[in-house]
């Protein structure tokens, strides 16, 4: 019955008022749109976390995945999305040059259009720079308030999110109109690892893009640091350096250690500002949020803003000369020592990566 | 051209906030308040653009209680020409959401007709990271979020913005008018000098009630409770690297 109604709604007219009314009468049915990112023909792990969040909202959630871009990689990613999670009931593909780069303007229009057709009760994106750029703009177009950086779902409209750099956890209830839009903190939702049976593959539909208009913004380029190491936000082990590393040269020692551990390298704001490493390695309130199994901090004092980005790590190791450094208050294991001596010794004693 | 800068008064970034015993929010009484650090960067950038001859006037705006006037005075002391204060007293259980602030700022922008609006990328109290994007959406202007570099071409009415994104630095080009939000590395904000603080006292702050702007400031979010984050169990200080490796292998089992 629910499925039929939702189906009827999807096929229903594009008229905004009509679909809204109908959407409200269907309030007890949960249907979610996940705005996914893809790379190299695969849905990104952060977007798979968004699928896990959709499952946390309702066990029988009907999930549609929206993918945009152009070229063969998009369609390969769509195939991946179609079999990525048991709850995925449909993959929507928006194929256009205008969406090839993550510009907020066409993407927000796309999201508005897809929401108005689909009448979803929830819209989820991951709190990546893409999600944070896009979701609030789309929410404003739909005249609803999104919830940023959800770390737990208590009820379909009750969420927990950190405020004040993670020094307080705020439980909020969304009381507004549908859709309830949110960005989720991917480290708080583990993507489903269980393999799906071959038979469950969701249908893939092309999105009608006739609404796209001439843009007021254009993409120029992306300067990225190519690295072989795992992605910082999803790495199992992260080694981080702060001001105590003293130079970009010395950061190489940290990179050697990371190499041996199969770890990602992170940095504090001080290390980035001093030019030791590029800014996309910054861990903290305004940088990346990580929650690896092992977090090793070298020469990191542990400012509030840095702790905000790593306090949910399973095991925290701190190496610092200053025994009073705040980092020791959150560390499971601390070494009050010269970090260069410790690094040298670790490099000697840790065997090559298996 | 004219630049509008939005600023917010928040608990100072260096304060370790405490959750109120009744769990309705964090303690803000008798706590040091300052301008949100990202807003300082926004003000600084607007001033630099004016000093470089790209802008003629910088207007600072805020939405908040009477005390928020202090934050506007700070912006004026840094060098903003004048300020707009939209008065709003907060109900802690129904916080003023970014959508409402964005609607108020849209109304201010429609009055002031700036060519560029600069905001911080996020406030360090609610950590929402929404207002700039929403304002851009409501005005149907292009947006350049998380900016680490802004180049204005007043002749062509375009802005080139370098953005701090997950994979590195992305460069985009926007038609003016546009909305830009600042990242930490955009600039180093100046300190207000004493003569400028004195001068700021004679600059104009226009006071407006939200009702006068015709903005509905409904709140679609109810704060149910605010809690302390779970405490981590006390750690141990080890004496050697060997001991550390042993603990990581045999106790924590992460190596």
d(CA A200, CA A327): 47
Please report whether residue A72 resides in a domain: yes
d(CA A352, CA B121): 42
Rounded to an integer, the average pLDDT of B97-109 is 97
In this structure, what CATH number is given to the domain that contains residue A117?
3.40.50.620
Please report whether residue A212 resides in a domain: no
- In chain B, what residues touch A307 (CB-CB under 8 Å)? none
pLDDT of A9 reads: 44
Mutate to test the interface with B, among A218, A221, A286, A320 (most CBs of B within 10 A): A286
pLDDT above 90 (res A226): no
d(CA B153, CA B52): 12
- In chain A, what residues touch B220 (CB-CB under 8 Å)? 144-145, 174-177
Place of tokens 């977007």: A47
> Does A303 show up as a binding residue in the annotation?
yes
Please tell me the total count of domains within chain A.
2
Interfacial B residues in 148-207 facing A (CB < 8 Å): 148, 160, 163-175, 178, 183-185
Comparing A21-30, A256-265, A338-347, B216-225, the range with the smallest average pLDDT is: A21-30
Convert the pLDDT of each residue in B190-203 to its tens digit: 999 999 999 999 99
Say whether both A170 and A48 belong to one domain. Answer: yes
Contact (CB<8Å) B224/A158: yes
Q: Which residue of A has its CA nearest to B97?
A: A145
Say whether both A45 and A112 belong to one domain. Answer: yes
Average pLDDT, chain B: 95
Rounded to an integer, the average pLDDT of B164-185 is 95
Say whether both A143 and A272 belong to one domain. Answer: no
Contact (CB<8Å) B254/A237: yes
CA distance A79 to chain B (A): 24
Rounded to an integer, the average pLDDT of A304-326 is 96
pLDDT of A11 reads: 40
CATH number of B2-251: 3.40.50.620
CA distance A290 to chain B (A): 13
Q: Which residue of B has its CA nearest to A351?
A: B255
Say whether both A175 and A299 belong to one domain. Answer: no
d(CA B246, CA B255): 9
- In chain B, what residues touch A128 (CB-CB under 8 Å)? 166
Say whether both A178 and A295 belong to one domain. Answer: no
pLDDT of A353 reads: 62
Please report whether residue A99 resides in a domain: yes
> Does A115 show up as a binding residue in the annotation?
no
d(CA B74, CA B178): 25
pLDDT of A195 reads: 57
Interfacial B residues in 132-151 facing A (CB < 8 Å): 132-138, 141-146, 148
Q: Provide the residue range defining the domain that includes A298.
A: 237-349
CB hemisphere CA count around B125 (13 angstroms): 25
Convert the pLDDT of each residue in A166-185 to its tens digit: 999 999 999 999 999 999 99
Total beta-carbon pairs less than 8 A apart between chain A and chain B: 249
Contact (CB<8Å) B168/A222: yes
> Does A269 show up as a binding residue in the annotation?
yes
- In chain A, what residues touch B150 (CB-CB under 8 Å)? none
Identify the band that residue A80 occupies on the pLDDT scale cut at 50, 70 and 90. Answer: very high
Convert the pLDDT of each residue in A201-219 to its tens digit: 899 999 999 998 888 999 9
Domain range list for chain B: 2-251
Tokens matching residue A18: 């009509």
d(CA B81, CA B48): 13
Say whether both A202 and A241 belong to one domain. Answer: no
Could you tell me which of B46, B187, B188, B36 has the C-alpha nearest to residue B115? B46
pLDDT of A227 reads: 73
pLDDT of A197 reads: 58
Rounded to an integer, the average pLDDT of A281-308 is 96
CA angle (B114, B100, A33) in 5-degree steps: 105
Please report whether residue A217 resides in a domain: no
Please report whether residue A231 resides in a domain: no
Convert the pLDDT of each residue in A93-137 to its tens digit: 999 999 999 999 999 999 999 999 999 999 999 999 999 999 999
d(CA A350, CA A31): 49
- In chain B, what residues touch A172 (CB-CB under 8 Å)? 221-224
Q: Give the ipTM of the model, two decimals please.
A: 0.96
pLDDT of A8 reads: 43
Predicted TM-score of the model (pTM)? 0.92
Comparing A58-62, B31-35, B231-235, the range with the smallest average pLDDT is: B231-235
pLDDT of A4 reads: 45
d(CA B62, CA A40): 43
Contact (CB<8Å) A286/B121: yes
Say whether both A150 and A250 belong to one domain. Answer: no
- In chain A, what residues touch B228 (CB-CB under 8 Å)? 168-169
Could you tell me which of B118, B71, B160, B44 has the C-alpha nearest to residue A221? B160
* % residues pLDDT > 70 (chain A): 90
Mutate to test the interface with B, among A136, A219, A292, A346 (most CBs of B within 10 A): A136
Contact (CB<8Å) A145/B221: yes
Beta strand segments in chain B, E = 2-6, 9-11, 33-35, 57-64, 82-87, 116-120, 143-153, 158-165, 168-175, 178-182, 205-208, 221-227, 236-238
In this structure, what CATH number is given to the domain that contains residue A317?
3.40.50.1220
Contact (CB<8Å) A350/B124: no
């Amino acid at each position: 019955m629910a499925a039929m109604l939702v189906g009827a709604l999807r096929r229903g007219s594009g008229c905004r008022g009509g679909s809204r009314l109908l959407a409200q009468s269907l309030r007890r049915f949960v249907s979610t749109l996940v705005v996914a990112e893809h790379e190299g023909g695969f849905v990104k792990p952060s977007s798979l976390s968004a699928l896990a969040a959709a499952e946390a909202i309702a066990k029988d959630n009907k999930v549609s995945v929206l993918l945009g871009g152009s070229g063969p990689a998009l369609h390969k990613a769509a195939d991946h999305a179609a079999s990525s999670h048991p709850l995925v009931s449909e993959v929507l593909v928006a194929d256009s040059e205008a969406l090839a780069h993550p510009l907020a303007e066409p993407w927000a229009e796309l999201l508005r259009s897809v929401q108005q057709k689909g009448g979803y009760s929830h819209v989820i994106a991951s709190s990546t720079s893409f999600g944070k750029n896009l979701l609030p703009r789309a929410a404003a177009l739909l005249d609803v308030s999104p919830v940023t950086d959800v770390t737990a779902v208590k009820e379909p409209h009750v969420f927990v999110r950190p405020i004040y750099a993670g020094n307080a956890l705020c439980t909020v209830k969304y009381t507004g109109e549908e859709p309830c839009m949110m960005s989720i903190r991917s480290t708080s939702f583990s993507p489903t690892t269980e393999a799906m049976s071959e038979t469950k593959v969701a249908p893939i539909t092309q999105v009608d893009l006739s609404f796209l208009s001439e843009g007021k913004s254009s993409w120029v380029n992306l300067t990225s640091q190519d690295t072989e190491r795992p992605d910082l936000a999803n790495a199992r082990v992260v080694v981080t350096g702060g001001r105590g590393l003293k130079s970009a040269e010395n950061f190489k020692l940290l990179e050697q250690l990371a190499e041996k551990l199969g770890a990602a390298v992170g940095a504090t704001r001080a290390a980035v500002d001093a030019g030791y490493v590029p800014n996309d390695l910054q861990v903290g309130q305004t940088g990346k949020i990580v929650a690896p199994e092992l977090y090793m901090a070298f020469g990191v004092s542990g400012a509030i803003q840095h702790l905000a980005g790593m306090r949910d790590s399973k095991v925290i190791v701190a190496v610092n000369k200053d025994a009073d450094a705040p980092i020791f208050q959150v560390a499971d294991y601390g070494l009050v020592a010269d970090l260069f001596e410790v690094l040298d010794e670790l490099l000697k004693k840790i065997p090559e990566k298996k | 051209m004219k630049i509008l800068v939005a600023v917010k008064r928040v608990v100072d970034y260096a304060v370790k906030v405490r959750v109120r015993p009744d769990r309705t929010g964090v303690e803000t009484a008798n706590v040091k308040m300052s301008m949100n650090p990202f807003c300082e960067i926004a003000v600084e950038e607007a001033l630099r653009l004016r000093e470089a001859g790209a802008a003629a006037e910088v207007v600072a705006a805020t939405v908040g209680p009477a005390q928020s006037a202090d934050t506007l005075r700070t912006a004026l002391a840094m060098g903003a020409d004048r300020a707009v204060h939209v008065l709003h007293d907060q109900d802690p259980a129904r916080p003023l959401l970014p959508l409402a602030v964005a609607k108020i700022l849209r109304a201010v922008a429609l009055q002031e007709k700036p060519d560029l609006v600069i905001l911080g990328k996020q406030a360090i109290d609610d950590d929402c990271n929404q207002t700039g994007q929403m304002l851009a959406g409501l005005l149907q202007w292009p947006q350049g979020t998380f900016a680490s570099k802004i180049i204005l071409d007043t002749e062509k009415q375009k802005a080139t913005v370098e953005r701090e994104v997950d994979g590195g630095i992305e460069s985009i080009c926007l038609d003016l008018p546009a909305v830009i939000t600042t990242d930490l590395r955009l600039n180093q904000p100046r300190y207000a000098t004493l003569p400028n603080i004195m001068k700021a006292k004679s600059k104009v702050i226009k006071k407006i009630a939200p009702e006068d702007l015709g903005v509905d400031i409904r709140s679609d979010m109810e704060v149910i409770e605010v809690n302390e984050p779970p405490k981590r169990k006390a750690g141990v200080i080890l004496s050697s690297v060997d001991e550390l490796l042993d603990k990581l292998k045999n106790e924590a089992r992460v190596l």
